[in-house]
């Protein structure tokens, strides 16, 4: 394979990538997208985790009181709540370690 064949192949790959990029940019509207408010996103995530915890608690209580026989649904809801809480804690730990790194930077 010669150098000119490699450069032609690279050029065609770049053109194909550009062609594939255009519909994605138009679909996602990156240029006109409004900025995301961090505090609203954080509150939304916290509300979602809290809702999952409440649903799991309700299902477990219903099974415990004999109001429901959906033991599998209760266990699945509890696992979902546990996973979402664990993920939230990992994100919190990453944010705190990043904040600590910023605070350690010399001015």
Reduce the secondary structure of the chain to three states and give it as a string.
CCHHHHHHHHHHHHHHHHHHHHHHHHHHCCCCCCCCCHHHHHHHHHHHHHHHHHHHHHHHHHHHHCCCCCHHHHHHHHHHHHHHHHHHHHHHHHHHHHHHHHHHCCC
| Residue 43 shares a structural domain with residue 26 | no
Query: What's the total number of domains in the chain?
Result: 2
Tens digits of residue pLDDT in 71-103: 999 999 999 999 999 999 999 999 999 999 999
| Residue 45 shares a structural domain with residue 92 | yes
| Residue 62 shares a structural domain with residue 74 | yes
| Residue 40 shares a structural domain with residue 71 | yes
- Report field, pTM of the whole predicted structure over 0.75: no
| Residue 23 shares a structural domain with residue 74 | no
| Residue 45 shares a structural domain with residue 19 | no
| Residue 45 shares a structural domain with residue 75 | yes
Tens digits of residue pLDDT in 2-13: 555 455 455 676
Which domain, by its residues, includes 50? 36-107
Tens digits of residue pLDDT in 48-69: 999 999 999 999 999 999 999 9
| Residue 19 shares a structural domain with residue 48 | no
| Residue 58 shares a structural domain with residue 17 | no
């Amino acid at each position: 394979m010669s150098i000119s064949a490699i450069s032609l192949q690279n050029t065609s790959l770049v053109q194909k990538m550009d062609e594939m990029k255009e519909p994605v940019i138009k679909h996602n509207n990156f240029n006109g997208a409004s900025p995301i408010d961090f505090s609203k996103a954080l509150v939304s995530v916290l509300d979602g985790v809290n809702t999952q915890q409440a649903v799991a608690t309700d299902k477990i209580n219903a099974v415990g009181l004999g109001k429901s026989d959906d033991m599998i649904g209760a266990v699945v809801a509890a696992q979902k709540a546990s996973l979402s809480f664990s993920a939230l804690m990992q994100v919190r730990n990453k944010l705190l370690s990043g904040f600590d790194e910023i605070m350690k930077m010399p001015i």
